A and B are shown apart, each in its own frame.
Chain A
Amino acid sequence: MTALLQILFDALSLGSLYALGAIGIALIFGVMRLVNFAHGDYISFCVFALLWPSIDAAAIVFAGQLPAYLLIPIILATGACLSMLSEVLVFRRFRNANPATMMIASFALGFVIKYTLLMLFSSRPKSIDLWSELALPVEILDARIPLLQVITIIITVLILAALVAFLKRTRFGLEMRAAAENFTMARMLGVRANAVILLAFAISGMLAASIGLILVTQTGTVDIQMGSSVMLVAFIATVIGGLGSLPGAVVAGFLIGGISVLMQVILPLEVRPFRDAFVYGAVIVVLIWRPNGLFAPRSAKQRV
C-alpha cells in the first residue's frame, strides 16, 4: 500500500511538470496554431535568470538570493517578458505564414536563446541551492514524500484551477477560448487579436518560468539543455492530448508521467535502460487508436 502510494506520488509529481509544460504549448497552439519549440529554452532562460552571467565553473547566484516573495514574481515576470518579446519581435511577423514556417521560426528562436545562454554562462552545468528545505520528506500515510513533490502537485492543481477560472470567468478568457475555436470568426466579432495572443504568450511564459523554478529546486542544476527534455515530453503530451486542447494536454501530461514511472517500476533491469522506448511505444499506440489525440478539439477537425 505504502509502495503504491509512493508510486502514485512519483507519477503525479513527474506528471505535474509535463502537464504544466503541455499547457504552455497548447495555449499558444490554440490561439495561433504555432508549436512553439522555443518553449524549452524559455524554461532554461528563466532558470539562468537566477544567476549572474559568468563562464566560471561555479555559479554566481544573483537574483537567486532574493527572498521567495520577490524571487517568484521576478522569475515569472522574466518568463512572461521573454515570451511576449518573442511574440512581438518574431512570431507576430509570421502571423499569416503557414504553421510549418512558424515552427521553423520557433526552432531558430530556441537556438538563439540557447546560444546566447551558452555565450554568457558557458556550456558547463552549474549548481545552485534554491529552497533546499523543500527537499525534506513529509510523511503521508506512511509514505515518505519529499515536500517538493507535494508542493509541485499542489501548485500544478492551483495553476490549473486558476487557468480554468480565468478562461471560463473572465472576458479575456472568453476571448481566448473564442480565438482558439475559430480565430478569424473571433476577430470579426470584435476579439482583440494582438491582445489575446500576447496574453497567451505571457501565460505560457509564466508557466515555463514555474517549471524552471520547480526543476531547479528539485535538481539543483542549471543547464542550457535543461528545458529541452521537458519540452519534448510536453510537446508529445499536447499531441496525444489533442493539439490545442487544454484539458487534453493536462491529462496527457499526467499520463506520460504515470507511464514513465510505472515502466521504471515494472520493467526488468535488463530492459530498463530502454524505458523511454516503451513509453513512446505507448504514445504510438494511443495515436493509432486516436489519431487526433485523446481530446481532439472541435477546431482541430477540418471545417467544411
Chain B
Amino acid sequence: MKKLLTGVAGATIMMAALGTSVAKADDIIVGFATASSGFMQAYDKPAQDAAMIRIDEINKAGGLLGKQIKTVAADTKTDRAEGAKAGLEVIDKGASLVVVSCDYDFGSPAALAAEAAGKVSFFLCAESIKAGIQGVGPHSFSASVLAAVQGATMAEWAYNKKKARNFYRLLDTWTEYNKGICDGFDWMMPKLKDAKLVGQDTFKNEDTSIAAQITRIKSLPQQPDAIMLCSMMPGVVSAVKQIRAAGIKSMILNGSGVSGGYWLNATPDLSDFYVPDQGSVYGDDPNPAVNEFNKKYKAATGGDPSSQYVYPGYVMIDVWAKAVERAKTTDADAVVKELEKMKDEKTLFGPRTFTDKIHHQNRGRYLITEIKNGKPGVVDEWTISEPIPVEYLVKK
C-alpha cells in the first residue's frame, strides 16, 4: 500500500511538473475543483459563475500582476474521493488558487490536497469554522460568512429593531450548518438583556410533518415574539408552511439558507419572515454596484442570481486578487500573509477580515430581507456588536 502511495505521489509530482511546463509562464491559473455533476453542482455552479465574472473583470482591466488569469476545472462529481483527485488535477495544471466545493464535507478533500501541495484553497461558500485553518490548514479560506453569525445577527437585530423579547428555538438536526445558526443564536441570547428563551424543539429536515413540534409551540401560554428557525432547504419550506398553517403568527428568523425568492411560490402569503443576505438578489440592494453585478450575472448566465450564495464566489476572487496584487506574487505563503492583513476589507458584499486565527468571517454585515405577503425586500442591515469568539466556535 505504502509503495503504491509513494508511486502515486511520484507520478503526481511528475505530472505536476509537466503540467506547469505546459501552462504558459505568463498566465496565473485559478483551478476549480468543484462539482459539475451530481447534486452539489446546483450549489457550486452559481458561485463559480460569479467568480468567473470577477476574473473577467480583472482580465479586462489588465490582469493580475500584468498577467492574464486563466481557469482550469476538474469535476468532483459530488464525491469525496473524486474531490481529492479533482484537487490534485487542478494543481497539476498549475493552479495557484484551488477553489473547492461550497460544502465543507464535499470541499475538504480537494482543499486538503491543495494544503498538502502548499497551495491556497478557497471554499466557494462553506459556512463552517472547519472550512479554513481549523479543518484544513493554514492556507485554506472560505469566502462566505459563518452560519453562527447569521443566527447571532438575526437574534440581535430582532431584539433591537423588532423589540423581540420571547424567543423560541426550532432546530433542524440534519446538518452542521443548521446547528451553526442555532449556536450563534445561543451565543447571542445571554447578551440580550431580558430576552428570554421560552421554549425549544428539534425536527428533522426530512420529516413530512412537524405537527407535534407545532402543537408544542401552540401550547405555550403566550405565542413567542420570534421563532429562530435553524434549518435549510428543502425541509424549511415545509416547516414554515406548517407553522403558518397552524395559525402561529410569530416572526420567523432564519439563516441565509432560505435566501432567494425561488421557493416563495410554496408560501404565497408568507409575512413576518426575515432572512440575512450578504447582498440582495431582488434588485433592491442599497449598493447600486450590487444591482449592476446582478445584471452582469444575468447577461453571463441567462438568469438572475437565485440566492445570496452566488456572491461569495465573486468576493473570493476579489480578495485573493487583492492579496496577490499586494504580495506581488502568487506564492501561497506570501498571499496568505496579505490575506491575513485584511481588516474590514471592502468588498461588494460586505467587509472581510482574515487573521492568523480564523480564515472565515466571525462577524459580518448582513442585509435583512423581509418577506411580506410573499414578496421579499431588503428592509435593514445589521452587523453584530462583537465578533463571535473563535474558541466558542471551535468548541461547538
Contacts and interface: CB of A to CB of B under 8 A. Distances in A.
B268 A10 contact: no
B42 A218 contact: no
A221 B245 contact: no
B269 to A, nearest CB: 8
B266 A57 contact: no
A276 B205 CA distance: 13
Nearest to B234: A125
Interface in B266-324: 266-268, 303, 306-307
A226 interface: yes
A129 B267 contact: yes
B266 A128 contact: yes
A122 B42 contact: yes
Interface residues of B, number: 46
Given A57-B260, A137-B247, A221 B212 contact: no
Interface residues on A, range: 35 or more
Contacts of A3: 215, 219
Looking at A146, A220, A230, the one whose CB has the most chain B CB atoms below 10 A away is A220
Contact of A219 (B204, B215, B241): B241
A39 to B, nearest CB: 15
Interface string A131-153: 01001110000001010110000
B202 interface: yes
Interface string B237-252: 1100110111100000
B42 A10 contact: no
A148 B214 CA distance: 15
Contact of B268 (A56, A122, A129, A218): A129
Contacts of A55: 42
Contacts of A185: none
Interface in B82-101: none
A9 B266 CA distance: 24
Contact of A272 (B38, B201, B303): B201
A129 B245 contact: no
A271 to B, nearest CB: 10
A24 B264 CA distance: 32
B233 A13 contact: no
A265 B203 CA distance: 11
B385 interface: no
B206 interface: yes
B268 A14 contact: no
Interface in A274-293: 275-276
Nearest to A2: B219
Given A3-B215, A136-B245, A218-B208, A127 B42 contact: no
A264 B242 CA distance: 16
A46 to B, nearest CB: 15
A127 B314 CA distance: 27
A190 interface: no
Nearest to A273: B173
Interface of B: 38-43, 171, 173, 200-204, 206, 208-209, 211-213, 215-216, 218-219, 233-235, 237-238, 241-242, 244-247, 260-268, 303, 306-307
Interface of A: 3, 6-7, 9-10, 13-14, 17, 55-59, 61, 118, 122-129, 132, 135-137, 144, 146, 148-149, 215, 218-221, 223, 225-226, 229-230, 261, 264-265, 269, 272-273, 275-276
The 5 residue pairs across chains A and B that have the minimum distance between CB atoms: A220-B266, A123-B39, A125-B234, A219-B238, A57-B306
